Amino acid sequence: MTPSGASAEQPPSRRIAEDLRRQIETGELRSGDKLPSERKLAEQYGSARNTAREAVRLLAEQGLVTAKQGSGVFVRTPQRLFRFGSDRYSLKNRKTGLTPFRLEAKRQGKEARIEVPSIVREKPPADVAERLDVPADDESVVHRENHYFADDEPVQIVSTYLRWDEAQGTLLTQAKTGKDGIYGRLQDLGHVMTRVRDEISARMPTPEEAAVLELLPGVPVLEVLHTSLDQDGIPFEVSRYVHRADQTGLLYELPVEQED
Domains of the chain, CATH where assigned: 12-75 (1.10.10.10), 81-251 (3.40.1410.10)
Per cent of the chain over pLDDT 90 is: 59
Average pLDDT over residues 50-64: 88
Residue 86 binned pLDDT confidence (cut-offs 50, 70, 90): low
Taking the C-alpha atoms of residue 225 and residue 239, their distance in angstroms, rounded to an integer, is 6
Provide the 10 A C-beta neighbour count for residue 164: 19
Look at residues 182, 159, 157, 183 and name the one whose alpha carbon lies nearest to residue 172: 182
What distance in Å separates the CA atoms of residue 24 and residue 214, rounded to the nearest whole number?
23
Whether the predicted pLDDT of 9 surpasses 80:
no
For 123-143, the pLDDT digits (tens) are 999 999 999 999 999 999 999
Rounded CA separation 253/114 (Å): 26
Beta pairing class for 248-251 and 81-84 = parallel
- In this predicted structure, the answer to whether residue 249 has a pLDDT above a threshold of 80 is yes
pLDDT of residue 106: 84
Please state, rounded to an integer, the average pLDDT across all residues of the chain.
88
Give the model's confidence band at 1: pLDDT under 50 very low, under 70 low, under 90 confident, else very high: low
pLDDT in tens, 179-194: 888 999 999 999 999 9
Of the candidates 120, 76, 83, the residue with the CA atom closest to the CA atom of residue 223: 83
* Short-list 109, 110, 140, CA closest to 124: 140
Which region among 71-75, 84-88, 222-226 has the lowest average model confidence (pLDDT)? 84-88
Mean pLDDT across the stretch 60-65? 80
Using the predicted structure, report yes or no on whether residue 121 has a pLDDT greater than 60: yes
Residues of the chain above pLDDT 70, percent: 90
Q: What is the mean pLDDT of residues 37-59?
A: 94
Cβ atoms of 162 and 142 within 8 Å: the answer is yes
Q: What is the mean pLDDT of residues 71-90?
A: 74
Position 210 scores a pLDDT of: 94
